[in-house]
Amino acid sequence: MAWFKRSTEDKQKPTAEDSSERTVRTEGLWIKCDGCREIIWKKDLEATFNVCSKCSYHFRIDARTRLAYLFDDGVYEEHDKELASSDPLKFVDSKPYAERLELMQAATGLRDALISGTGLLLGRKVHICAMEPKFIGGSMGAVVGEKITRAVERAIADQAPLIVVSASGGARMQEGAVSLMQMAKISAALMRLDEARVPYVSVLTDPTTGGVTASFAMLGDLNIAEPGALIGFAGPRVIEQTIRQKLPEGFQRSEFLLKHGMLDAVVQRGEMRAYLANMFELLVGPVEAAAA
């Protein structure tokens, strides 16, 4: 009854190498939206600034992508990229802080959780700082504080507007009081920027929490946010456990904060460049006049 048996020579089983090759070719091509749970073709998502075309859910993006969306043609001069933490406390939790920094630097290609750049936004020279949420949760340490302070000083020297895009879990616990000092340091620098009458716009994205919210993220001449962004000091679960009450629907989301006077505007990511350009024209004047 040999005709009922399949010959092994007729069809070979796929090798592990073949299977892995097929997996690599299709991996990451589709993404599930956290808002509407629809499956989205990755290329379509990139074409809409990483915003779901069905429900307008704003996916989290990294700092380099953020800067590419804001600067003309994605071109900018990066500053202070060599700055890195010296691990002042020699902090150890589940692993040494120095080792954690090395892992994050290798994973993100950044020295710390912020990129500072100078370029053009619809023809106007601006300074933009964008936080990197993948670097220890976008937490603020000495390097983040120093980079923003230097960006403020450059903005004063150039008389060019400053934009800070926040995406952070707050102050970095591995640097203790050193990280908390950055709240006062940046706030003092922003006071000098205000005295120089140079506009500062704070853009709050998902999430913006902790010491970042308690300092520079809410100190802008304009405080604007992306739709649906989580913005607050303590998280909603902590607040509910503390006050033992159920929080209102949408509490700590950007639309809730706008309704209660904590924000000036909520702006779609794809409209952010044009919105910022219009605001600077109102605050500073036309690009030609500013250049003159």
What integer is the mean pLDDT of 78-93?
A: 95
Checking if the pLDDT of 252 tops 60, the result is yes
- pTM here? 0.88
Question: In the predicted model, is pLDDT for residue 227 greater than 90?
Answer: yes
Q: What is the pLDDT of residues 100-113, one digit of tens each?
A: 999 999 999 999 99
Backbone angles phi, psi at 165, to 5 degrees: -100, 110
Mean pLDDT of 49-75: 97
Contact 217, 247 (CB under 8 A): no
Residue 186: count of CB within 10 angstroms of its CB: 26
Instruction: Map out the domains of the chain with their CATH numbers.
Output: 17-59 (no CATH), 60-291 (3.90.226.10)
Give per-residue pLDDT as tens, 184-218.
999 999 999 999 999 999 999 999 999 999 999 99
pLDDT band at residue 18, thresholds of 50, 70 and 90?
low
What are the DSSP calls for the chain, one per residue?
A: -GGGSPPTTTSPPPPHHHHHHHHHHHTTSEEE-TTT--EEEHHHHHHTTTB-TTT--B----HHHHHHHHSGGG-EEEE-TT-----TT--BSSSBHHHHHHHHHHHHS-SSSEEEEEEEETTEEEEEEEE-TTTGGG-B-HHHHHHHHHHHHHHHHHT--EEEEEEE--B-GGGHHHHHHHHHHHHHHHHHHHHTT--EEEEEEEEE-HHHHTTGGG-SSEEEE-TT-BB-SS-HHHHHHHHTSPPPTTTTBHHHHHHTTS-SEE--GGGHHHHHHHHHHHHT--HHHHH-
- Cβ partners under 8 Å of residue 63, min gap 6: 110, 114, 115, 130, 131, 132, 165, 167
Res 7 pLDDT > 80:
no
Residue 28 confidence (pLDDT) above 80:
no
Sheet with 222-225: strands ordered across:
76-79, 114-121, 124-131, 162-168, 200-208, 222-225, 265-266
